[in-house]
Amino acid sequence: MDKKAVKLKYFIVHGILWKLFERFGSQGLQFIVQIILARLLLPQDYGILALVIIFITIARVFVQGGLGTSLIQKKQIDDIDSSSMFYVTMGIACVLYSVLFFSAPLIADFYNNKTLISILRVLSLTLFPGSLYAIQNAIVARAMQFRKIFYSSLGAGIISGLVGILLAYSGFGVWALVFQYLINQVINTVILWFILKWRPIFAFSLHRVKGLYSFGWKLLVSGLLDTIYRNLRGLIIGKAYSPTMLGFYNRGQEFPQFLIANINGTIQSVMLPALASHQDDSKRVKSMMRRSLVTSSFFVFPMIMGLIVIAEPLVILLLSDKWLQAVPFLQILSFSYALWPIQTANLQAINAMGRSDIFLKLEIIKKVYGSLILFMALPFGVYVLAISQVISSLIASFINAKPNKKLLSYSYREQISDILPSLLLSLGMGVIIYLLRFLSLSPLATMLLQIAVGMGIYPSLAYIFKLECFTYIRETVWAMLGKNTNQKIV
């Protein structure tokens, strides 16, 4: 194995470890903070915040969508590239903040809730630190220095969490969530400012911006379509039902999202720059993409299966009985998030190959049929709306995989074959831990037993059946601990 491959392996594994620390350290802290706040606040408070964040998330796509990825994907960048993009994103943030500020009364009238005006105007301020963070994150990702993201996210989580909890205890209601969210965004960017050497310089190149946008604009449009589509259910639920029902929906979605976004997001965020560095070698990209897909599935499937089984006692224990209506959403939406490894691994490979045109076409196709499924489900109630998300995700998995049949010679059959062992073992584990509920133990004791048995039986089954992914992960960990770099990464 040549020295370049050994070095790449080290950076990938090292990057994944630090990204895991960042995800489960900082976001795990955020998750705990949200659990505490959920016990102090009402579902309606979360529903109101969720409505506002939908509009801000859409606006942030214009500020951050595609631009950071274009900086990562480009083979070589300098301060002129990064500074030019920073000034562009800051200008876009100014325009969008003005739009949101003056449209806030119209949005509040549409949802018949005047509170939305001030909340939207305050939270829209996050667009400004977001424009800087997009560039900072791209620079960190290119260098695979994810330790810096860990430090900034953890620091921001601690400070904003303490402020949010203090305000909630003091009776500030939804404003506790507002300031917790705003402070987190600001502190995260400020910490990176001090620990990252990069500073924008007084230079701007329209030519460089056009070059980056030639790749990034397609991802921006794709991201916009995806963001609007993913938040469309929230907009509909908030209008057709109530902010309270939206609070239950979002809270149920948060559990699988936390697990899957952290595991799968960690692997894919590290793999994008790694894949991009080999974009001219399709065989190498396929091998690395396969590794990320198999590894993500190995971790994601058992977590999702376990979450579905223990959903009810978990919600009661962490959030209290007032959030019980979130349980069906948690269980239904878990199936949708289980499909993320397939979708994102394929999309990352397409991005790494520089085919943002294909990426955009896929997003348009998925959003058209997804919207049709959504509106067909609308007359049948909020739970059918949730089920429609699972159906759309299943179809999207096949659509995302199709281009790589040609680009990488990675067929449907190969991809299904790669994830099937982990899926079958997860189903077997799920059946076993589900049967433990008939032991007539207390809900807490049953849940703890199910978690313990699941964590023991899944790796044991993987060892017994000699899953290739389990062997690879075990050998990689041993190699890293023993500083043995002779093991192949793909």
| pLDDT of 485 | 43
Specify the DSSP class assigned to residue 321. G
Please report where in the chains the tokens 């083979």 appear, as a residue. Answer: 75
Q: Over the stretch 302-357, which tens digit does the pLDDT of each residue have?
A: 989 999 999 988 898 888 888 899 999 999 999 988 888 778 778 777 777 777 67
| pLDDT of 484 | 47
pLDDT at 416 over 80: yes
Q: Who's near 178: CB < 8 A, 6+ residues apart?
A: 49, 119, 122, 123
| pLDDT of 432 | 93
Rounded mean pLDDT, 264-282 = 59
Quote the CA–CA distance of 343 and 400 in Å, as a whole number: 6
CA-based nearest residue to 68, from 15, 137, 18, 2: 137
Write down the pTM of the prediction.
0.71
Q: Which residues of 213-228 are buried (b: 16+ CB within 10 A; e: fewer)?
A: bebbbbbbbbbbbbbb
pLDDT at 117 over 70: yes
| pLDDT of 14 | 55
pLDDT at 427 over 90: yes
| pLDDT of 488 | 43
Rounded mean pLDDT, 17-22 = 57
Q: Is 35 left (phi over 0), alpha (psi -120 to 50) or beta?
A: alpha
CB 39, CB 234: distance < 8 Å? no
pLDDT at 98 over 90: yes
Cα end-to-end distance, the chain, whole Å: 11
pLDDT at 100 over 60: yes
3-state secondary structure of 170: coil
| pLDDT of 214 | 67
| pLDDT of 329 | 93
In angstroms, the Cα distances linking 25 to 163, 186, 191, 359 are: 18, 18, 16, 31
Specify the DSSP class assigned to residue 437. G
Greater model confidence, 242 or 383:
383
Q: Is 204 left (phi over 0), alpha (psi -120 to 50) or beta?
A: beta
Greater model confidence, 445 or 470:
445
CB 70, CB 216: distance < 8 Å? yes
Q: Who's near 298: CB < 8 A, 6+ residues apart?
A: 422, 462, 467, 469, 470, 473
Q: Over the stretch 135-145, which tens digit does the pLDDT of each residue have?
A: 888 787 776 66
Q: State what percent of residues in the chain have pLDDT above 90.
A: 18
Greater model confidence, 430 or 39:
430
| pLDDT of 357 | 77
Secondary structure element (H or E) that encloses residue 352, with its range: helix 340-352
Secondary structure element (H or E) that encloses residue 151, with its range: helix 146-169
Quote the CA–CA distance of 113 and 52 in Å, as a whole number: 11
Quote the CA–CA distance of 175 and 167 in Å, as a whole number: 8
pLDDT at 295 over 70: yes
Specify the DSSP class assigned to residue 380. G
| pLDDT of 245 | 87
Q: Over the stretch 142-195, which tens digit does the pLDDT of each residue have?
A: 766 667 777 788 888 889 889 999 998 888 888 998 999 899 989 989 998 988
Specify the DSSP class assigned to residue 440. -
Quote the CA–CA distance of 229 and 371 in Å, as a whole number: 7
Quote the CA–CA distance of 132 and 93 in Å, as a whole number: 10
Kindly report the average pLDDT of the chain as a whole number: 80
Quote the CA–CA distance of 37 and 31 in Å, as a whole number: 10
Radius of gyration of the chain (CA): 22
User: Which amino acid makes up residue 347?
Assistant: L
Q: Over the stretch 204-260, which tens digit does the pLDDT of each residue have?
A: 878 777 776 766 666 677 777 777 877 888 888 888 887 888 888 988 888 888 777
| pLDDT of 277 | 57
Rounded mean pLDDT, 458-474 = 82
Q: How many whole angstroms from its chain centre is CA 384? A: 24
Give me the DSSP letters along 73-138: HSS---HHHHHHHHHHHHHHHHHHHHHHHHHHHHHHHHTT-THHHHHHHHHGGGHHHHHHHHHHHH
Helical ranges in 196-310 per DSSP H: 206-240, 243-276, 282-309
Residue 112 burial by Cβ neighbours in a 10 Å radius (0-12, 13-18, 19+): exposed
